[in-house]
Structure 1
């Protein structure tokens, strides 16, 4: 077996990194935020009131989006900027998820990095708990509705 210098191999090989899955992207972003959980970051100002075209361009210096964009792995994988629209596309966030995780109306103008990480984890985490809550709500409705109808009639 012949050994070659790594720099030489990079110069002659066409190495394409495997794209990250949505969950891997989110996990990486959350872990970046959790590295310094007391770091103060700027939230995004009242994004729910902005028209969609304007909302997509929203950015703040020293925000959770900046933390993601500063990471060379996420940038190489396709994160185009630290603007909200690019982050929503790249991380697969809905308007509601982005609002819950990043907006100033829920966290104030400045919040700790760990707070943003928890919100991202809560809003993008496993949907099993949401399904369980939905199942319990349906069961409660199935049991309670006949009683309510009986009492009202």
Structure 2
């Protein structure tokens, strides 16, 4: 028997899910997002400019083509779970993140105009919790280092 991921099966078959099955919880959604980002760790993602400076109604509408949120929205599973688009406000709602948590994932003030997907994945995982402070620092400095 050959084991395949759900994404692999979607390429060769129509997959129907059990409608009685409960949806993903917050942690599962965040883990899925981190895993998607980790699949292409060197992928350059666009950052959102100055999310902390906009009023919430404007911030919620912010989007950037090729952002970490776009990676989540490209996933059919997360869209089936209810991710409606790749805007800041939708990511905040769907992943149940605070402005501070989402700011750390997508804002340009930490990384400039672009970031590696591995760095975004680390920030998503830190929003899940459970990563110690020293481990977070070690991983952050390892993954944000850019080649010379």
TM-score (norm 2): 0.75
Corresponding residue number in structure 2 for 1:77: 81
Corresponding residue number in structure 2 for 1:117: 121
Unaligned runs of 5+ in 2: 1-12, 134-148
Q: Which structure has the larger Rg over C-alpha atoms? A: 1
Q: CA RMSD in A?
A: 1.9
Question: Are positions 1:44 and 2:43 aligned together?
Answer: no
Distance 1:15 1:64 in 2: 29
* CA deviation vs aligned residue, 1:79-121 (integer Å, no higher than 9, x gap): 0110010110000000110111210001111010001101121
SS at match of 1:93: coil
Distance 1:66 1:102 in 2: 11
TM-score (norm 1): 0.72
Structure richer in helix, relative to its length:
1
Corresponding residue number in structure 2 for 1:63: 67
Unaligned runs of 5+ in 1: 1-5, 131-153
TM alignment of 1:14-25, pairs within 5 A: 15-16=18-19, 17-25=21-29
- The runs of 4+ residues in structure 1 deviating greater than 3 Å are none
Q: 1:88 aligns with which of 86, 89, 92?
A: 92
TM alignment of 1:106-145, pairs within 5 A: 106-126=110-130, 129=132
SS at match of 2:102: helix
Distance 2:43 2:93 in 1: 25
